[in-house]
Amino acid sequence: MKGITILGSTGSIGVSTLDVISQHPDEFELIALTANKDVANLRRQCLRYRPRYAVMADANSAGILRRYLGVELPEISVLAGIEGLEEVAVANETDYVMAAIVGAAGLMPTLAAAKAGKRVLLANKEALVMSGKIFMDAVKEHGAVLLPIDSEHNAIYQCMPADYRDGLSRAGVSRILLTASGGPFRDYPLDRLPEVTPDEACAHPNWNMGRKISVDSATMMNKGLEVIEACWLFDTGPDRIQVVLHPQSIIHSLVEYVDGSVLAQLGNPDMRTPIAHALAWPGRMASGVKPLDLFQIARLDFTEPDLDRFPCLRLAFAAVETGGTATAVLNAANEVAVEAFLQGQIRFTDIPVVVESALDGVPPSPAEALDSILRADQQARIFAASVIGNLAA
């Protein structure tokens, strides 16, 4: 039995992970479930799955959950805050950690899991976007196993040769082709983008995701963050990564080799596939995903992204080229801008304006220590908030 902790169990990735492991009850033991403030859903999950620990990042929410479970399931230990998240991430009983907390809040417990030598199933982009070198160094130094959960990075991982960590050129890899659906606005009239609503931005045509990630997909910042993540995961520069719009979301990414071969991973757009791959690696296990019907798909389309339509993608490439804390600034400003858009404070087209202003206004510094990264993150949030205030005035 492998013990698994799910950081962010009430989100879409967490729910899909619970679905996969519930199909294999003899292989996995659920050690901990965690959430931020969603007491109702975490309580419901605890009642159904009976983990050893339940953690709420928000202390007040933890108190409420503790009162419920103290009566219903007193054997479950309820923990709180970043300390509680880190405790279950490094617990001796935990073998696998699904890192699915959205945003910068997931950085510290995910890094703690890497330092504890766990198998880290990485669905949290910010661990690499904010602190790529620190995180990858921790994985190597402490013997952790890092497996990507993003469908695109998982596809690339499956298509890479076994020796890719020795260098892509030495392994015969020439390019990574990172696919993107283009979100709900890939064909939307440009002059109408300023008027789109949060609900329209969250209506992804292919994937069922949380609201923040859905907006990131609509701006293609999600793909920009994935470019940065891919640079760290596969030890390459952005010049070897090509983003390809593929509206069907059937090819999840491709790897091009120097001999002209291009390997692709295909599958229905369902996150249970990469989750099952990472849980079973190096083997395979059933995920519950229906088989791909190529006759029903019938066609696959590919186009180059328009950076005028998707300026956030351009900004992400610029940030990774700049290096240092620029990617942390990019991520922090985007988080603040997306939340402001979801709250109706700014327009959809203001999101890249806020991000670019932060990149210009917060000077980058070396990203070799967590303190400098977290300081840049905080500075970017304050700067982005001030820009939003001016836009909303």
Among 296, 289, 392, 393, residue whose Cα is nearest residue 336: 392
Mean pLDDT by 10 residues, the chain (393 residues): 97 96 96 97 97 97 95 96 97 97 86 97 90 95 97 97 90 97 89 92 73 91 96 95 95 98 97 98 97 95 93 97 96 96 96 98 93 95 96 78
Q: Which residues of 225-262 are buried (b: 16+ CB within 10 A; e: fewer)?
A: bbbbbbbbbbebebebbbbbbbbbbbbbbbbbbeeeee
CA-CA distance, 238 to 266, in Å (whole number)? Answer: 23
Among 240, 252, 304, 264, residue whose Cα is nearest residue 160: 264
Could you tell me the two tokens for 240? Answer: 């070897």
Domain 323-392, CATH 4.10.490.10 — does that match?
no
CA-CA distance, 143 to 163, in Å (whole number)? Answer: 17
Could you tell me the two tokens for 93? Answer: 């009983």
Q: Provide φ and ψ at 332, rounded to 5°.
A: -65, -45
Sign of the alpha-carbon torsion through 153, 316, 328, 103: negative
Question: Domain residue spans in the chain?
Answer: 2-148, 156-269+291-297, 323-392
Beta strands in the chain (DSSP E): 2-7, 28-35, 53-56, 77-80, 96-99, 119-122, 145-148, 173-180, 241-245, 251-257, 262-266
CB 181 within 8 A of CB 207: yes
Q: Is 87 helix (H, G, I), strand (E, B) or coil?
A: helix
Q: pLDDT value at position 104?
A: 74
Q: pLDDT value at position 207?
A: 62
Contact residues for 24 (Cβ-Cβ < 8 A; gap 6+): 279, 285, 286
Q: pLDDT value at position 22?
A: 96
CATH of 2-148, one of 3.40.1010.10, 3.40.50.720, 3.40.50.620, 3.40.50.2300: 3.40.50.720
Q: pLDDT value at position 302?
A: 96
CA-CA distance, 200 to 185, in Å (whole number)? Answer: 9
Q: Is 13 exposed, middle or buried (0-12, 13-18, 19+ CB in 10 A)?
A: buried
Q: pLDDT value at position 206?
A: 66
CA-CA distance, 218 to 8, in Å (whole number)? Answer: 23
Among 307, 289, 8, residue whose Cα is nearest residue 180: 307
CA-CA distance, 362 to 385, in Å (whole number)? Answer: 13
Q: pLDDT value at position 208?
A: 63
